[in-house]
Copies of this chain bind each other. A is one copy, B any other.
Amino acid sequence: MKSVQKTVLVLAWLVALPAAAQIAKKPAVPAIPGYQTLLCDFHLHTVFSDGQVWPTVRVDEAWRQGLDAIAITDHIEYRPNKKEFASSDLNRSFEIAAQKAVDMPVLVIHGTEITRDMPPGHLNAIFLSDVNPIETETWKEAIDAAAEQDAFIFWNHPGWKRQQPDGIPHWYDEHEQIYSEGKLHGIEIVNYKSYYPKAHQMAIDKKLTLLGNTDAHDTIGMTYEADLGESRPYTLVFAKEKSAAAIREALFARRTAVYWQETLYGDSLYVAPLFYESIQVPDTPLVLHGKARAWVAITNRSDLVYRLELEAPVGGYEIAEEVVLASGATVPLQIRSLNSTETNETLAIRFRVTNILPRPDQPLRVTLQVPVQRLASQDAK
């Protein structure tokens, strides 16, 4: 007769299914000169606060979707499942996730969400060593305790209607106070399913780091309805290498951008090279037969989408006014010469990329260099 104990020992090996038996698809996002481009989500919940998932699920989700780094940021002050757990150590969710991620290419960053009424609202502190000291009576004590651990601290969903009913972020005295003390480093311009243009402008004015995070409580699959065309936000971090230290350095240096619902927000210092590294224009000249139309094939090697509008006419040519560079696709851009003298030249065609926003409502301007060879013979299609 077998004892329960022996059965369990055997089962420990027999039953446990490989939780990592998972397919990962990493979105193609190019590096930019000098930096790797890392895909990150710095705002995630688990059952240890009011989320629905075990911490390991966050690691598996990150692996499957090709994220380089995630932060576990459970609420300190709101833990509806608290009575279920044996321990009240606030580091437990991070520890479980970090243990899962050992030897996996997903970096797990230790964090927490300081969850207070507005002002100052909710703030995340990441790169912590111990969350417990941040459970304090006042919000200011909590921020101070996080700052003492050299945390990177950012303001979450600043226009969240439950705390800010008009939906417009407002820079309160409380924010000014911690900002002036050097204890506020970033701001979510995208959270969950919202973009806050006012927060974006604040980030530019006050030199705060841009963040775009899911704030997921459910699984990612339940949070964004693929059937309705919804997709998750990413914080893109331009880091010197793939490591927690390098991400931390990049965050403090404000080398980030945010991608969400096919729109890229970020300083042109980073989003312009990201665009150019994504795009390939043939270097062999496009042959133009007289005044007939021709098409130059532009390839977007990335999994981002770029929507281009012609910024200005090119003298002597007619150029398509719009082109959508779909992800991983090659798309024809129509060009026509307005006269038929023979020549070789390289056109510098200026576009606005309407879904790349260095500033709210101000699209990025880019220039594509297209070599053309004009032939006199009109052999139109």
* Chain A contacts to B: CB under 8 angstroms: 1-4, 7-8, 10-12, 14-26, 47, 50-54, 56-57, 60-61, 64, 66, 75, 77-78, 80-81, 83-87, 92, 96, 99-100, 102-105, 115-117, 137-138, 162-163, 217-219, 221-222, 225, 227-229, 286-287, 293-295, 297, 305, 320, 324, 326, 328-332, 334, 379, 381
Q: How far is the CA of A332 from the CA of B106 in the complex (A)?
A: 14
Closest to A286 in B: B103
Give me 11 other A-B pairs in contact (C-beta within 8 A), A12-B78, A52-B54, A84-B87 excluded.
A4-B77, A7-B117, A15-B162, A18-B332, A20-B295, A23-B331, A53-B219, A60-B218, A85-B86, A103-B287, A104-B295
Contact B105 A297 (CB under 8 A): yes
Which of B19, B47, B328, B332 is in CB contact (< 8 Å) with A218? B19
- Please give the distance in Å from A296's CB to the nearest CB on chain B: 10
Contact B77 A8 (CB under 8 A): yes
Contact A57 B11 (CB under 8 A): no
List B contacts of A163 (CB < 8 A): 14
List B contacts of A331 (CB < 8 A): 22-24
List B contacts of A25 (CB < 8 A): 227, 326, 328-330
Contact B53 A53 (CB under 8 A): yes
Contact A24 B381 (CB under 8 A): no
Contact B381 A99 (CB under 8 A): yes
Q: How far is the CA of A305 from the CA of B86 in the complex (A)?
A: 46
Copies of chain A in the complex: 4
Closest to A116 in B: B7
Known interface pairs A20-B332, A228-B324; A47-B50 also in contact (CB < 8 Å): no
- Please give the distance in Å from A250's CB to the nearest CB on chain B: 23
Contact B84 A225 (CB under 8 A): no
Which of B137, B219, B294, B320 is in CB contact (< 8 Å) with A219? B219
- Please give the distance in Å from A292's CB to the nearest CB on chain B: 10
Q: List 5 A-B contacts (CB under 8 A).
A: A8-B77, A22-B222, A25-B328, A54-B81, A84-B92
- Please give the distance in Å from A18's CB to the nearest CB on chain B: 5
Known interface pairs A77-B4, A77-B11, A328-B25; A53-B54 also in contact (CB < 8 Å): yes
Taking each of A51, A77, A305, which has the highest tally of chain B beta carbons within 10 Å of its own beta carbon? Answer: A77
